[in-house]
Amino acid sequence: TLIDILHDTARRYPDAPALDDGTVQLTYAELLSDVEDSVAWLGARGIGRGDRIGIRMPSGSYALYVAI
C-alpha cells in the first residue's frame, strides 16, 4: 500500500527530500511524522481505518500530500 511504501522509504532514506511544493520542503522522516500526526488527530475524533472523509485543499499543496 502507499503507507507501506512511505514507511519503508522513510526507514531507508529518512533525510532524503520527499516533498518540495515551492514553499515547504520535507524529508521522508518529516513527511511520515506529519502523516502520523494527522492519523492521530483523526483518530482522536473517532475516524479510523476504512472510514471515508472529504478533504478540500488547493491542488499541489504540501497538505494534500500529507492527507493522501
For residue 58, pLDDT over 80 is answered with no
Give the distance, in angstroms, between the CA of residue 22 and the centroid of all CA atoms in the same chain.
Answer: 17
SS3 27: strand
Domains in the chain, please, with CATH?
A: 2-67 (3.40.50.980)
C-alpha to C-alpha distance for 21 and 27, rounded to whole angstroms: 12
The model carries a pTM of 0.78
Give the burial class of 31: count Cβ atoms within 10 A of its Cβ; 0-12 exposed, 13-18 middle, 19 or more buried. Answer: buried
For residue 65, pLDDT over 80 is answered with no
For residue 60, pLDDT over 70 is answered with no
Specify the DSSP element, H or E, that contains 25.
strand 25-27
CA-angle at 21, arms to 15 and 26, nearest 5° = 20
Higher pLDDT, residue 29 or 58 = 29
